[in-house]
């Protein structure tokens, strides 16, 4: 079994647990308010800054360089969203949550260890998840937040991998890159363990996000009617 499939199978429970956190479960039902969403984007900025900083610094690493795909990088897109939600001085306003600080510290800790290949667990957990479920989450957020089209959702945009066919091919390329990595079974198991920890770190971050929507049931109902009207008009 290749590392790609081992990661998929070995993180199934963690993946399911993350989807069932209160914040993510509500998000998937179309219940998300702007304050909560901008907190998410703000924390993601710090997480991806750490990831992309370390993958840049370790670009000559013979293992990490094999999965360092610049077309996945999120920082510039997150900056665009932060300008929308926090204004032009966003970088003087935002601060990471406690859970986000913990997440960022772990990324740097792994990168500075004698096992930097464990960063693969974090890379897989975040980027492949963004690419796989990003379009669905983008559509949900656009409706729930009642955003103008193509505004405030740059995080989910992959200009170099924009079509379904391109995403499918890229994920195939990514999984092959994982499978071709020169790793022994012990190293693979350590990566899977780290990927599960990455899911937990994401969950801690989601749990710190508090919804400011005073009428979540009404918001859900509003989202349902918008969906229904759209379905009927097609």
Residue 46: pLDDT band with limits 50, 70, 90:
very high
Mean pLDDT score across all residues of the chain: 90
Each residue's pLDDT tens digit, 158-168: 999 988 899 99
pLDDT value for 150:
81
Q: Considering the chain, what percentage of its residues have pLDDT values greater than 70? A: 89
Long-range contacts of 21-27 (CB under 8 A, 24+ apart): 21/203, 21/206, 21/207, 22/206, 22/207, 23/206, 23/207, 23/209, 23/211, 24/206, 26/211, 26/216, 27/137, 27/140, 27/141, 27/144
Task: Single out the residue of 161, 174, 152, 182 nearest to residue 62, CA to CA.
Answer: 182
Q: Is CATH 1.20.910.10 correct for 3-223?
A: yes
> Which tens digits make up the pLDDT trace of 68-101?
999 999 999 999 999 999 999 999 999 999 999 9
pLDDT band at 194 (very low <50, low <70, confident <90, very high): very high
- DSSP label of 126: I
Parse the chain into domains and list their residue ranges. 3-223
Q: What is the mean pLDDT of residues 117-125?
A: 98
Q: What is the pTM of this model?
A: 0.88
Q: Residue 42 contacts by C-beta under 8 Å, 6 or more apart in sequence?
A: 82, 85, 86, 94, 96
- Min mean pLDDT across 6-20, 36-50, 132-146 is at 132-146
- What band does 210 get if pLDDT is binned at 50, 70 and 90? low
Residue 148, pLDDT above cutoff 70: yes
């Amino acid at each position: 079994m290749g590392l790609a499939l081992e990661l998929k199978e070995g993180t199934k429970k963690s993946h399911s647990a993350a989807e069932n956190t209160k914040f993510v479960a509500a998000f998937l039902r179309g219940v998300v308010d702007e304050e909560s969403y901008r907190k998410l984007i703000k924390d993601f900025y710090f997480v991806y800054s750490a990831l992309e900083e370390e993958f840049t610094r370790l670009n000559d690493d013979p293992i990490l360089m094999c999965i360092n795909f610049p077309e996945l990088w999120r920082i510039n897109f997150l900056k665009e969203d932060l300008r929308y939600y926090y204004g032009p001085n966003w970088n003087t306003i935002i601060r990471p949550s406690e859970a986000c600080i913990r997440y960022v510290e772990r990324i740097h800790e792994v990168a500075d260890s004698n096992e930097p290949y464990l960063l693969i667990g974090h890379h897989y957990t975040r980027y492949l998840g963004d690419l796989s479920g990003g379009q669905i989450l983008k559509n949900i957020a656009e409706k729930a937040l009642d955003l103008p089209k193509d505004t405030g959702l740059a995080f989910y945009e992959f200009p170099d991998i924009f079509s379904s066919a391109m995403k499918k091919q890229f994920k195939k390329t990514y999984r092959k890159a994982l499978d071709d990595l020169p790793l022994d079974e012990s190293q693979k198991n350590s990566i899977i363990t780290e990927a599960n920890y990455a899911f937990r770190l994401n969950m801690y971050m989601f749990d710190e996000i508090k919804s400011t929507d005073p009428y979540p049931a009404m918001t859900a109902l509003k989202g349902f009617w918008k969906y229904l009207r759209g379905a009927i008009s097609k």
